[in-house]
Amino acid sequence: MSVQIIRDRASLKAAVASFRQDGARVALVPTMGALHAGHMALIEAARRPGVRVVASIFVNPKQFGPNEDLARYPRREAGDTRMLNDAGCDLLWAPSVEEMYPEGFATTVSVSGVSEGLDGAERPGHFDGVATVVTKLFNQVGCDVAYFGEKDFQQLAVIRRMVADLDMAVEVVGVPTQREDDGLALSSRNVYLLPEERERAVALPRVLGVAARAIGRGDDAAAALADARATLESAGFAVDYVALADAETLTLDPAPDRPRRLLAAARLGNTRLIDNIAVELG
């Protein structure tokens, strides 16, 4: 059976109601399209006995800044639909901007704390846009569980905080970052990289791995972060940040006995890449 494509809320409500009548739970995989193996890993994680999987494709204008890549963000719904169909997705929710944000729309969901540093500082308003659209998607689909990739680690933390604070009855599941054979994190924006930039891009996960191992064995964290930044800059990156954060709260300079995450964002040419890695003790 082919994946069902729905573009209006009334039809979405009816389709989800039919899933419920069959006794199924509903899993949501929110995306902005330009799907790749990382998204397919989310679909695979969501597929369980008694679960119907809904994927959404919506390039959300509210999470793009005025100088960001909204206009050129890759859109390829036909190919995405084929991938979802092959992966066993049950329903594709693909609303228009007008369907998602009708005339008069005036509400913003804002999550303080976890949203304020790192990408939140580099991209003002970005996580307000994320929290707003995810709230709408949760309400529209009425999902029991939602799956997000750990590559966007701060986004995942923002959504978890929002769900907890607003008593949303949605289980949020993080799925490990999917990578190319050389370690580069899969991203829809990787298609922007020129061939020479793609060769250099692998420095990002490698540098994070070196720094995470150094910090994990007890080396000076500030020195490890400085070395990581210098190595990335020497590889041609313009570095937005390389930071060590608490894996739950994303506060910087976390205690060594807390779960910690090393996060980075840097640009190669016109392409901004992000990545993160857990810091293991020992």
List, by residue number, the catalytic residues.
Answer: 39
Length of the chain: 282
The three-point CA angle 77-81-87 to 5° equals 145
Distance separating the N- and C-terminal Cα atoms of the chain: 49
**Tally of CB atoms within 10 A around 218:** 10
Q: In what order do the strands lie in the sheet with 238-246?
A: 238-246, 260-268, 271-279
CA dist., res. 94 & res. 77, Å (int): 9
Is the separation of the CB atoms in 135 and 158 below 8 Å? no
Nearest to 68 by CA among 114, 107, 122: 122
Is the separation of the CB atoms in 91 and 84 below 8 Å? no
Regarding beta strands 260-268 and 271-279, do their DSSP bridges make them parallel or antiparallel, or are they unpaired? antiparallel
257: buried, middle or exposed (CB in 10 Å: 19+, 13-18, 0-12)? exposed
